[in-house]
Amino acid sequence: MLMVHVDQFSSTITKKGRSKIVENYDPTSKTTQVNEALIILTSVEKKDELSPRNVSKKAADEITKLARQVKVNTIVLHPFAHLFADLSRPDIAVETLKLTEGELVERGFKVIRTPFGWFNTLELKAKGHPLSRVARKVELKEAK
């Protein structure tokens, strides 16, 4: 995950991506736009397929920690397959994103999840403090 604390963020759908899974979106608004938020550019990897629920809980823990530090209540989960080469199956990625969204909503955050499987334009105005750009890799502990 690459987490970016922003003043403004905008994502506009341009066309379908190469994924076999393409989520629907509201055709009247191809654009997701927010102010004062934590943007989570995230991908799900092959090894995450072992336990999407546990991965989503650990991801939500990391997101929650940073969101509370920077005092943000709005979180945007944005699929970003460009972070890693060994990606999970698309259905597992969507499941993991939905589980992460649910975890964050249960913790009281307003969560916006941009649709999976689309190319899009991105505009953001990031803040410039020490916690404004944070990367985290969430991994499950291997059984011994």
The CATH number given to whatever domain includes residue 37 is 3.50.80.10
Is 52 domain-assigned? yes
**In angstroms, rounded to a whole number, what is the distance separating the alpha carbons of residues 25 and 11?**
12
**Alpha helices, DSSP H, located in 4-130:** 52-69, 90-106
CB of 126 closer than 8 Å to CB of 4: yes
Is 100 domain-assigned? yes
Is 85 domain-assigned? yes
Is 63 domain-assigned? yes
Q: What is the pLDDT of residues 75-121, one digit of tens each?
A: 999 999 876 678 999 999 999 999 999 999 999 999 999 999 999 99
Q: What is the pLDDT of residues 52-68, one digit of tens each?
A: 999 999 999 999 999 99
Domain that holds residue 36: 2-135
Instruction: Report pTM.
Output: 0.93
pLDDT for 142 equals: 59
